[in-house]
Amino acid sequence: MSHQSDLIADDINAYLEAHENKSLLRFITCGSVDDGKSTLIGRLLYDSKMIFEDQLEALESDSKRHGTQGDQIDFALLVDGLAAEREQGITIDVAYRFFSTDRRKFIVADTPGHEQYTRNMATGASTADLAILMIDARKGILTQTRRHSFIASSLGIRKLILCINKMDLVEYDEAVFNNIEQDFLEFANELNAGIEIQAIPVSALAGDNITSISDNTPWYTGPSLMEYLETVPVGDERKAAPFRMPVQWVNRPNLDFRGFSGQIASGSIKPGDKIKTLPSAKETTVERVVVHGGDLAEGIAGQSVTLTFADEVDTSRGDVICAANDPAEVSDQFQARILWMSDDAMLPGRRYLLKTGAKTVTALVSGLKYRIDVNDLQDRPAKTLNLNEVGVCTLSLDQAIAFDPYDVNRETGGFILIDRLTNNTVGLGMLDFALRRAGNIHWQALDVDRETLASQKDQKPAVLWFTGLSGSGKSTIANALQKKLFSMGKHTFVLDGDNVRHGLNRDLGFTDEDRVENIRRVSSVAKLMTDAGLITLVSFISPFRSERRMARNLMSEGEFIEIHVDTPLSVAEERDVKGLYKRARAGEIKNFTGIDSPYEAPKDPEITIDTVNNTPESAADEIVRWMEAKGLLDA
């Protein structure tokens, strides 16, 4: 894997510069396991002699060292090398290869076929112009064939080569080819409109129809694979689209220069053009288009540039600079398609980080509308998304972003979701459109604000969040604390897990996704109560750290106090006032926290209560002393 990283880092710029006058085609090879992707790439490189000189020298050296001669042996060495890379773990990432012919230069993303690596296929497809979909002629269309086709089309690929491979193993039977082609075309009717499909019968191992038409398929009248790759029109959609440039950083080396740097995502820009920065919607004029070594008369899509403005406009990293007469949209609520890329399921109601361009915001997956079945492309009801599943969701962001629908502009309509705990990428998404309600709903300004309401009550608003196992004593301590605060003249309210499930959350069960939604709703209610100036006591098992962090992030700084009611499972089971542990052990209650559903204890709570050695009253006194020390009981 380090070899591949070094290749990309060291060779890509030199490669592109050496062939800068040729058009560039980015394509991906995909399909199911053992359909022949590596063999195809090896054949393309070998037959056309299109590999770098150092690679050719390495092959020649290997040939001499092994005492081998002949083209077939050299080709075998190349294919064996590609296969060896996969055995050494290259399949975990996308392997990029660079080559060129007299007509065109190419970057190919060689992606693994295993289902568990579908996320890597999607990564390669996200920047590709064309996909080569491999199909074993003996097996026909498989589930992974359909999955890769759907993902490729969803990610904006509009040209697809259907390489029906291993034709030599079916005796170059025209009927086999025709049947597979027809089956795929019927499936492709449900894919996005406008996809151009070219089916080619090939044998990657024997070289049939790779760089020239084979005598073994006299019934085939189309182009060879390389002829198609060299002549297929490379779309200029990015250059023709309206100007967009996400700001990657603000460049200010001295007081006399202030520029905004980034890669032009689409369109072109030149001095004198009027632009608008989003989401602020401020307008100005471009003064200079600067690159290393001087100024440009015009910058075009794909170039990295620094723009200077005629006016001082407040623009930051993550903002998007647009053509003033055709700007992007701005919203904080969307419908989106998401390919889930994590072993842990996507749970509606959970918050993730959303990264688009250079902008990172917090996103709430507020609803999963349906899952898309890759076998027949039909919508299926679902509550969660699992690894490699695709679904249509609604997203709510904590701030507005500039965007274009993905089908209009891949650069400004795509995003990734990141787990806030592990920082792992868990989803790849495409924005479809802004929700109408995002533009219709606005915050209403109120004259009596939260500070005024809290001052009236001679206290500071706070959320005391009690978390712990069932039977740990959360509700008992919260009840004791409320009585003490009431006697002190403080204004409080208790949100108890059991009580809330009789009303607000009576429609929720105890699955992981329902627990997430349970806490999301309660967190929102607790937030409203702090706006009313109340001290709110929340008593919920709330087993997941991520949801407790979500609740904390809703509150103002210092208003969320996490109280871990720390009781060992054995002690909680001994108490078992409600008889729940006994029923859970008997299998009568599923998804019971501590038995067959996990409890994630707080790592750094503000307060920890030991209920083994303390009474509820002494625990309440301890919390009151903590609140007094922090000044929460004073206005």
Task: Tally Cβ neighbours within 10 Å of residue 387.
Answer: 17
Judged against a pLDDT cut of 50, whether residue 5 lies above it is answered with no
Whole-structure pTM value: 0.64
pLDDT tens digits along 242-263 = 999 999 998 877 777 889 999 9
Average confidence (pLDDT) over 506-529: 84
| 122 inside domain | yes
pLDDT value for 169: 95
Using the 3D structure, point to which of 207, 231, 255 is the last residue of a domain: 231
Picking from 191, 211, 157, 199, the residue whose alpha carbon sits closest to that of residue 41 is 211
Do 317 and 337 lie in one domain? The reply is no
Do 96 and 200 lie in one domain? The reply is yes
- Please state, in angstroms and rounded to a whole number, the distance separating the CA atoms of residues 217 and 230: 21
Q: Which residue has the higher pLDDT, 178 or 458?
A: 178
CA 337 to chain centre: 10
Task: Tally Cβ neighbours within 10 Å of residue 293.
Answer: 6
pLDDT value for 305: 93
Task: Tally Cβ neighbours within 10 Å of residue 245.
Answer: 29
| 411 inside domain | yes
The residues near 580 (Cβ < 8 Å, ≥ 6 apart) are 470, 471, 589, 592
Domain of 158, CATH number, reads 3.40.50.300
pLDDT value for 94: 62
Domain of 260, CATH number, reads 2.40.30.10
Do 224 and 200 lie in one domain? The reply is yes
Picking from 454, 322, 413, 427, the residue whose alpha carbon sits closest to that of residue 365 is 427
- Please state, in angstroms and rounded to a whole number, the distance separating the CA atoms of residues 562 and 467: 7
Q: For the chain, what is the mean pLDDT?
A: 82
Do 98 and 57 lie in one domain? The reply is yes
- Please state, in angstroms and rounded to a whole number, the distance separating the CA atoms of residues 608 and 411: 47
What total of structural domains would you count in the chain?
A: 4
* Contact by Cβ (8 Å): 111, 27: no
Between strands 535-539 and 492-496, the pairing is parallel
Judged against a pLDDT cut of 60, whether residue 55 lies above it is answered with no
- Please state, in angstroms and rounded to a whole number, the distance separating the CA atoms of residues 419 and 396: 16
pLDDT value for 619: 93
Do 66 and 138 lie in one domain? The reply is yes
Q: Which residue has the higher pLDDT, 126 or 467?
A: 467
Tracing tokens 């396991």 back to the chain, one arrives at 33
Structure tokens at 152: 């490729």
- Give the single-character DSSP code of 196: E
Q: Which helix (H) or strand (E) holds 111?
A: none
Judged against a pLDDT cut of 50, whether residue 54 lies above it is answered with no
Q: Under DSSP, is residue 546 helix (H, G, I), strand (E, B) or coil?
A: helix
Judged against a pLDDT cut of 70, whether residue 514 lies above it is answered with yes
Using the 3D structure, point to which of 436, 464, 487 is the last residue of a domain: 436
Radius of gyration of the chain (CA): 30
- 508: domain range? 450-629
Structure tokens at 565: 């009611």
pLDDT tens digits along 366-421 = 888 899 887 777 888 888 899 888 899 999 888 889 999 988 888 899 998 998 88
Q: pLDDT band at 493, cuts 50/70/90?
A: very high
Picking from 463, 450, 472, 458, the residue whose alpha carbon sits closest to that of residue 495 is 463
Judged against a pLDDT cut of 80, whether residue 629 lies above it is answered with yes
Judged against a pLDDT cut of 50, whether residue 53 lies above it is answered with no
Structure tokens at 305: 């540039």
| 634 inside domain | no
pLDDT value for 92: 42
* Contact by Cβ (8 Å): 449, 460: no
pLDDT tens digits along 310-324 = 988 888 899 999 999
pLDDT tens digits along 213-231 = 999 999 999 999 999 999 9
Q: Which residue has the higher pLDDT, 590 or 526?
A: 526
Between strands 95-100 and 104-110, the pairing is antiparallel
3-state SS, 422-486, equals: CCCEEEEEEEEEECHHHHHCCCCCCCCCHHHHHHHCCCCCEEEEEECCCCCCHHHHHHHHHHHHH
Do 463 and 598 lie in one domain? The reply is yes
φ, ψ dihedrals at 610, nearest 5°: -95, 105
Judged against a pLDDT cut of 60, whether residue 535 lies above it is answered with yes
Do 262 and 277 lie in one domain? The reply is yes
Do 28 and 52 lie in one domain? The reply is yes
Judged against a pLDDT cut of 50, whether residue 89 lies above it is answered with no
Using the 3D structure, point to which of 204, 231, 258 is the last residue of a domain: 231
pLDDT tens digits along 422-447 = 888 898 899 999 886 555 454 455 66
Picking from 175, 299, 161, the residue whose alpha carbon sits closest to that of residue 225 is 161
Average confidence (pLDDT) over 130-157: 89
| 406 inside domain | yes
- Please state, in angstroms and rounded to a whole number, the distance separating the CA atoms of residues 148 and 30: 7
List the catalytic residue out of 455, 542, 546, 618.
Answer: 542
| 441 inside domain | no
Do 591 and 479 lie in one domain? The reply is yes
The residues near 85 (Cβ < 8 Å, ≥ 6 apart) are 3, 4, 95
Do 501 and 617 lie in one domain? The reply is yes
Query: Considering only 20-29, 272-281, 416-425, 536-545, which range has the smallest mean pLDDT?
Result: 20-29
pLDDT value for 203: 94
Burial degree of 248 (CB within 10 A; 0-12, 13-18, 19+) = middle
| 336 inside domain | yes
| 443 inside domain | no
| 389 inside domain | yes
Query: Considering only 235-239, 249-253, 352-356, which range has the smallest mean pLDDT?
Result: 235-239
The residues near 120 (Cβ < 8 Å, ≥ 6 apart) are 91, 92, 93, 94, 111, 112
Do 432 and 461 lie in one domain? The reply is no
Q: Which residue has the higher pLDDT, 82 or 128?
A: 128
Q: pLDDT band at 502, cuts 50/70/90?
A: confident
- Please state, in angstroms and rounded to a whole number, the distance separating the CA atoms of residues 550 and 522: 11
Judged against a pLDDT cut of 80, whether residue 13 lies above it is answered with no
Helices marked H in 49-94: 53-65, 71-87
Do 343 and 291 lie in one domain? The reply is no
Q: Does residue 542 carry a catalytic annotation?
A: yes
